[in-house]
């Protein structure tokens, strides 16, 4: 099983700040199969960034993703209040699909 | 647009079984894998497994073999997950989600299962 470790577990940022969260895999993942989800409290996860760096429909351009191999990241160039959520990475490098433990982003 | 509508919350006794439905609209149901994901507070997201409605083929996370069973009815565009031998560890929100290119691009609203005597 390919274990995904996200860091930090919780982060706090002020509006306008740039933030970066990371996702590290125990084994290499094809960049085509590393995805990110946003989940707000009480809601379902939303497909957010797919195949490492492609924004899903409706995702603001202040979000970006990068990485390769075992190390991936999600960056928000200028955080806004609406970005408060938990972000999960997910991979497919063979069964089972796995998710990271999530990074909770709080807005000051 | 693509939508997945799940059945409502369930309160179950330990040892019982429960069946959750997920009705798909807005796309060709039979041609996409349907995924099932478990979420418990403090435990993040866990992949349970998947079913391909067009053929009935399934793949299960080893951890959930014997616990979960997937079925699908293409005539009603509905997928199901049955959970058996319920314990408190099965209390969670269960999601169905459509798979595309190794990711899950559309999710149901979730079904809360509570197991309590």
What's chain A's average pLDDT?
Answer: 97
Rounded to an integer, the average pLDDT of A5-9 is 97
Across the interface, do B102 and A32 touch by the CB < 8 Å criterion?
yes
Contacts of A107 (CB under 8 A, 6+ apart): A12, A13, A14, A15, A79, A80, A81, A83, A84
Across the interface, do B105 and A50 touch by the CB < 8 Å criterion?
yes
How many angstroms away from the CA of A1 is the closest CA of chain B? 10
Q: What is the pLDDT of residue A94?
A: 86
Q: Chain B residue closest to A41 (CA)?
A: B41
Rounded to an integer, the average pLDDT of A39-66 is 97
Residue B35: pLDDT over 90: yes
pLDDT-derived band at B43 (thresholds 50, 70, 90) equals confident
pLDDT tens figures, A58-90: 999 999 999 999 999 999 999 999 999 999 999
Tell me how many residue pairs between chain A and chain B have CB atoms under 8 A apart: 58
Burial (CB count <10 Å: 0-12, 13-18, 19+), residue A95: middle
Rounded to an integer, the average pLDDT of B85-108 is 96
pLDDT-derived band at B1 (thresholds 50, 70, 90) equals very high
DSSP annotation of A15: T
Rounded to an integer, the average pLDDT of B50-56 is 97
Residue B52: list chain A partners with CB under 8 A.
Answer: none
Q: Which residue has the tokens 């799940």?
A: B6
pLDDT-derived band at B73 (thresholds 50, 70, 90) equals very high
Q: What is the pLDDT of residue A93?
A: 86
Across the interface, do B47 and A96 touch by the CB < 8 Å criterion?
yes
Residue B55: pLDDT over 90: yes
Across the interface, do B103 and A99 touch by the CB < 8 Å criterion?
no
């Amino acid at each position: 099983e390919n274990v995904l470790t996200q860091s930090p577990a919780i982060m706090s940022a002020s509006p306008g700040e740039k933030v970066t969260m990371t996702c590290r895999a125990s084994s290499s993942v094809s960049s085509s199969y590393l995805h990110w989800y946003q989940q707000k409290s009480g809601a379902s996860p939303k497909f957010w960034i797919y195949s490492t760096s492609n924004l899903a429909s409706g995702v603001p351009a202040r979000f970006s993703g990068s990485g390769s191999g075992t190390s991936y990241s999600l960056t928000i160039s200028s955080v806004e209040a609406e970005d408060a959520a938990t972000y999960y990475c997910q991979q497919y490098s063979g069964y089972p699909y796995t998710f990271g433990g999530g990074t909770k982003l709080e807005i000051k | 647009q693509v939508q997945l509508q799940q059945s409502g919350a369930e309160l179950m006794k330990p040892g019982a079984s429960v069946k959750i439905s997920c009705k798909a609209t807005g796309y060709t149901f039979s041609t996409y894998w349907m995924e099932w994901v478990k979420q418990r507070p403090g435990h993040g997201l866990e992949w349970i497994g998947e079913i391909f409605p067009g053929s009935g083929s399934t793949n299960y996370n080893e951890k959930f073999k014997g616990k979960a069973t997937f079925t699908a009815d293409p005539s009603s565009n509905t997928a199901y997950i049955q959970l058996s031998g319920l314990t408190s560890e099965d209390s969670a929100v269960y999601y169905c989600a459509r798979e595309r290119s190794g990711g899950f691009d559309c999710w149901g609203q979730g079904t809360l299962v509570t197991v309590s005597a």
